[in-house]
Structure 1
Amino acid sequence: MTAAATEDKKPDFSELVSVFARIGLLSFGGPAGQIALMHRIIVDEKRWLPPDRYLHALNYCMLLPGPEAQQLATYVGWMLHGVRGGIAAGLLFVLPGFVLIVALAALYATLGDAAWLEAIFMGLKAAVLAIVVQALWRMAGRSLKGPVSVGLALAAFLALFVFGVAFPVVVLAAGLVGYVFMRRPVAAAPDIPVKRDWRRRGVSTAATLLLWTAIWLLPLIVLVPFGEFHTLADIFGFFVKIALFSFGGAYAVLTYVAQEAVATYHWLTPAEMMDGLALAETTPGPLVLVLCFVGFLAAHAAPVFAAPLVSGLIGAVLTAWAIFVPSFLFIFAGAPYVEDLRRNAALSGALAGIGAAIVGVIANLSLWFALNVLFSSVDRIALFSLPPLLRASLIWPDGASLDLASLAISVAGIVALIKFRVGILPLLAGAALTGLAIGTLL
C-alpha cells in the first residue's frame, strides 16, 4: 500500500529524483536544517504534501532509532511513489554527503589535515542557520494551534534544553497529553487507500520485514566466515548495534561512538575523531555520516587488501549500509499503519501532541546549532540539582567567542529569505563565497 499525494500536485518519478538529488546536495545543518530544508521545498515550494501530512510523517520518524531526516525523506518518497520512491528519496538524501565524506576521509588519510575546509563551509553553516530560523517559525505557526499545543512545545523545549530529559520520555508524555486533551473528529482521508484484508497486509508486512532484514545483514553473513576480514566484520557489527539503539538524536550517538571508536576499538585517535566531527558538521547529509569517516579510517588502518584506500572505501560502505538500510525497513513496514492512524481520533490526538512537542524538539536542536555556529566556545553551566531525578543546566556561550562574520551572514540570510524571498541555492552559494572571501582575508 502506498499513500498517494494529491493528484494535481504529485510529481512524476523523474522530478522526484531531481528534487531529492538537490535536497541531498543542499542538506547542511544537521537534522534541524535538513527537516527545515525539506519542509521548504516539499511543502512550501512544490506543494507536494500539505503541512499536516509532512508533520504526521515527521512525528513517526522522530520516534525511530537512526537518522530521522533520512527516514523522513524515505517516508516522503514512499508517499509520493511507493517503494521505489522511498528508495530513491532515501538514497539520494544520503548519497551526495556520503561521496563527499569518503573523498574527504581519503584526503585526510593521505594528507592528514582538514583545516582547509573551515573557510569554505563557515558561510554555509551561517546560511543554514537562517533557513532553520525561517522554517521553525513556519512550522510553529502551522503546528501550534491552541494553548495545549503551545504548552507542549514549550515544555518539550525546556525538558530537553534545561533539564536534559531523555527524548523518549518527552515523546511519551506528549503523546499521553495529546491523547487526553487533543482528541478531535478526524475527517476522511480519501488520498489514503484503505486495505481491508488484514491477513494479506500481515503477510505483506512480514515479507517486508524479512526481506529488508536480510538485505541489512547480508554483509555480516558474507564477512563472518572469512577470518581475514575480521576488521570489516567488527566495523559492520558495531554499527549494526548503533543503528538499533541510536535513540536521542545524532549528538548522543556521536558521543558514544567517539568513546568506543577511540577508547575501546582504537580505530582513531581523539584528534582524528574531532576532525571527523568537524567534517560532518560542514558537509551535507545526516550528521551520522561521520560514522563513515570512522569506518573508513578503521579499515584504512588495518587493510585487508593491498591498497589501504580500497579497504577504507569498503569500510565506509559497510558503515553506511549498517546505519541507513534500517531506515527503509522501518518506513516500508511501518508507514502504512502510521498512515491509518490519521483516521483514528484518539491516536490522532496522541500524534498531535507528539507533533506539538516535536516543534519544541526542533527548537532545541535549532538553538544548539545556532549557538555552535555563532560562538566558538560553548559550555554547559549547572543551575541546580535535586538528585536523583532533577538536574537543570544551560548551554551558555562565551560572549568573547562570538563570530561576527557568521552572525552577519546569518542575519543577512534571514533578511534575504523573508524580505526578498531569495531561493535556497542562491543563498547558499552567496554565503559560501562570502565565507571563503572572509577566510582568505583573515
Structure 2
Amino acid sequence: MNSKLKEVALVFFKLGCFAFGGPAAHIAMMEDEIIEKRKWMTRDYFLDLIGTTNLIPGPNSTEMTMHCGYERAGKVGLFVAGIAFIFPATVITALLAYLYVKYGQLPEVEPFIYGIKPAVLAIIAGAILKLGKKAIKSTELIIIGVLVLVVSLLGVNEVVALLAAGVLGMLYFYIKSKTVSNLNSISPLILFLGFNTTIAKVTTLKLFLIFLKVGAILYGSGYVLFAYLDAELVTRGLMTRAELIDAIAIGQFTPGPVLSTSTFIGYQLSGFTGALVATAGIFLPSFLFVLILNPFIPRMQKSRILRYFLDSVNVAAVAVMLAVLIIMAKDTLVEWQGIIIALIATFLTFKTKVSTIWTIVIGAVLGFVLLSITT
C-alpha cells in the first residue's frame, strides 16, 4: 500500500472510531481533518462534493469519505476510505449485536452519549461558519440559503429543498448573465433497483438483496431508514418492531454511519454471515454511485450553467446543516449539564486548536462525570 493510501486509511479509520452525531457532524469532522489539517483539496471543491453528494441516495457522510479518498488516492482510495470509515462502526455494532442476542440487553452507554451530543453541536457550528463563508458568494445566494433554512425547519425533505434551490439558482443566474454558452450535456444517471423479494425464510442472498435495495434508494435520516426497514422486515414478519427500534438505537449511538444498523440486524437474522452480507448490501450502492459520479464533478465545475446549479446547491447544503444544528440544539440543550458541555465545546472549537476528535472525547467524559455527580 502506497503512502497516500495509508494516509487515507488512517484518517478515515480514525474518523470512523469517533464520528458521532450524524452526517452533519461527520462532515464537520472531515472538514477539520481534510481541509484544515491536511489541505487535500480546496474548501470550494469540498463544498462541491457536499452539494453533489446530497443529491444521490445513500449515507451522505460515508459517500463524502469515498469522494475524499478518490481525490487523494484515486479509485482505490475511494474503496479504502469508505471501508476504513465503515469498519469501526461495523465491528462495534457486531459486538453489540452478539451481546444483545446473548444477554437480551444493551450496555449502559447513555452517560457518554449524553456528553457527546452537545459537543457535536459546537463542531457542526464551526464547520457551518467556515463552509458558509465560501458558499455565500452573493446576496442572491444568501436569499436562497435563508429560504432553504426556513423550508427545512418546516419539515420539507432536504433532497427536495436542495434540488429546488439548485434549479432556482441555476435559472436565475443564467437569466441574469444573459450569456448563452455551448454546454456539454451531462445526462443524469439515476439508478433504481426494484427487488420485490417475497421472503419465506431469510437466506443469505435474500438478506443481501433486501439491504441492497434499501441502500440504493435511501434518502434522509435514521427515521427514514427506520421506515424502509420496517416495511422490508417487520411487515414481513422477519423481526419485531421492538427489535428494529433497538437496532436503530445501536446505529444512533455507535460512531460512524447510522447504516451500521444493518450489521446488527443481519447478525440477529442470520448470525455472522448475515451481518456481513447485510452490511455489504446496504453500502455497495454508495461505492458505485460515487465511483460513477466523481469523474463528472470537474466537468460540472467548468460548465457555467452547472456552476450556477452547484453554487446554489452548496449554499443550500450549508443551510440544511444549519437547520440540523438548530433542531439538534433544541432537543439537546434542555438541561444545565448539556448547556455547560456545549459552552466548553464551543470554546474549544472556536478559541483553541483542539482537534474535533478530542472535543468529542472531552464531551463524552464530561457527560459521564456530570451525570454521575447529579444522580
2:105 counterpart SS class: coil
Report the Cα offset of residue 68 of structure 1. 1.0
Aligned to 1:87: 79
Report the Cα offset of residue 421 of structure 1. 2.7
Equivalence map 1:346-365=2 (5 Å): 346-365=305-324
Are 1:298 and 2:269 matched, yes or no?
Answer: yes
Report the Cα offset of residue 103 of structure 1. 0.8
Report the Cα offset of residue 132 of structure 1. 1.1
Structure 2 counterpart of 1:36, one-letter code: A
Aligned to 1:288: 259
Report the Cα offset of residue 367 of structure 1. 2.5
Aligned to 1:436: 368
Aligned partners of 2:253, 2:266: CA distance in 1, in Å? 18
Does structure 1 conserve the Cα–Cα contact (< 8 Å) formed by 2:212 and 2:283?
no
Candidates 234, 238, 251, aligned match of 1:267: 238
Report the Cα offset of residue 136 of structure 1. 1.4
Aligned to 1:176: 167
Candidates 227, 233, 240, aligned match of 1:255: 227
Aligned partners of 2:153, 2:59: CA distance in 1, in Å? 20
Aligned partners of 1:35, 1:345: CA distance in 2, in Å? 27
Aligned partners of 1:373, 1:259: CA distance in 2, in Å? 30
Equivalence map 1:6-405=2 (5 Å): 12-114=4-106, 116-162=108-154, 164-182=155-173, 230-262=202-234, 264-299=235-270, 312-374=271-333, 402-405=334-337
- Gap regions ≥5 residues in structure 2: 178-183
**Does the C-alpha gap of structure 1 residues 161 and 76 become closer, same or farther in structure 2, counting only changes over 3 Å?**
same
Q: With structure 1 as the length reference, what TM-score do the two structures score?
A: 0.75
Aligned to 1:199: none
Report the Cα offset of residue 428 of structure 1. 2.1
Does structure 2 conserve the Cα–Cα contact (< 8 Å) formed by 1:261 and 1:294?
no
Does structure 2 conserve the Cα–Cα contact (< 8 Å) formed by 1:125 and 1:282?
no
**Does the C-alpha gap of structure 1 residues 296 and 367 become closer, same or farther in structure 2, counting only changes over 3 Å?**
farther
2:69 counterpart SS class: helix
Does structure 1 conserve the Cα–Cα contact (< 8 Å) formed by 2:215 and 2:286?
no
Aligned partners of 1:330, 1:43: CA distance in 2, in Å? 23
Report the Cα offset of residue 156 of structure 1. 1.2
Does structure 2 conserve the Cα–Cα contact (< 8 Å) formed by 1:267 and 1:294?
no
Aligned partners of 1:325, 1:345: CA distance in 2, in Å? 33
Report the Cα offset of residue 37 of structure 1. 0.7
Aligned to 2:343: 411
Does structure 2 conserve the Cα–Cα contact (< 8 Å) formed by 1:123 and 1:431?
yes
Structure 2 counterpart of 1:432, one-letter code: A
**Does the C-alpha gap of structure 1 residues 340 and 353 become closer, same or farther in structure 2, counting only changes over 3 Å?**
same
Does structure 2 conserve the Cα–Cα contact (< 8 Å) formed by 1:148 and 1:181?
no
Which shifted more, 278-287 or 74-83?
A: 278-287
Report the Cα offset of residue 114 of structure 1. 1.9
Q: How far does the alpha carbon of each residue in 1:39-96 deviate from its partner, in whole angstroms, 9 at most, with x for none? A: 1111112111111110111111111111111111101110111011111111111111
**Does the C-alpha gap of structure 1 residues 349 and 228 become closer, same or farther in structure 2, counting only changes over 3 Å?**
closer
Which shifted more, 286-295 or 410-419?
A: 286-295
Q: Calculate percent identity across the aligned residue pairs.
A: 27
Q: How far does the alpha carbon of each residue in 1:75-124 deviate from its partner, in whole angstroms, 9 at most, with x for none? A: 11101110111111111111111111111111111122225111232222
**Does the C-alpha gap of structure 1 residues 128 and 353 become closer, same or farther in structure 2, counting only changes over 3 Å?**
same
Aligned partners of 1:115, 1:281: CA distance in 2, in Å? 14
Structure 1 counterpart of 2:227, one-letter code: T
Q: How far does the alpha carbon of each residue in 1:277-315 deviate from its partner, in whole angstroms, 9 at most, with x for none? A: 22222211111222322222222xxxxxxxxxxxx2221
Structure 2 counterpart of 1:46, one-letter code: R
Q: Quick check: which has more Rg, 1 or 2?
A: 1
Does structure 2 conserve the Cα–Cα contact (< 8 Å) formed by 1:67 and 1:250?
no
Does structure 2 conserve the Cα–Cα contact (< 8 Å) formed by 1:29 and 1:369?
no
Q: How far does the alpha carbon of each residue in 1:374-417 deviate from its partner, in whole angstroms, 9 at most, with x for none? A: 3xxxxxxxxxxxxxxxxxxxxxxxxxxx2322221111101121
2:237 counterpart SS class: coil
- Gap regions ≥5 residues in structure 1: 1-10, 186-195, 197-205, 300-311, 375-401
How many residues are aligned here? Answer: 362
Pairwise CA RMSD of aligned residues? 3.0
Which shifted more, 414-423 or 165-174?
A: 165-174
Q: How far does the alpha carbon of each residue in 1:170-193 deviate from its partner, in whole angstroms, 9 at most, with x for none? A: 2222122221234599xxxxxxxx
Aligned partners of 2:208, 2:10: CA distance in 1, in Å? 31
Which shifted more, 317-326 or 268-277?
A: 268-277
**Does the C-alpha gap of structure 1 residues 372 and 293 become closer, same or farther in structure 2, counting only changes over 3 Å?**
farther
Structure 1 counterpart of 2:219, one-letter code: F
1:12 counterpart SS class: helix
Aligned partners of 2:339, 2:250: CA distance in 1, in Å? 21
Report the Cα offset of residue 228 of structure 1. 10
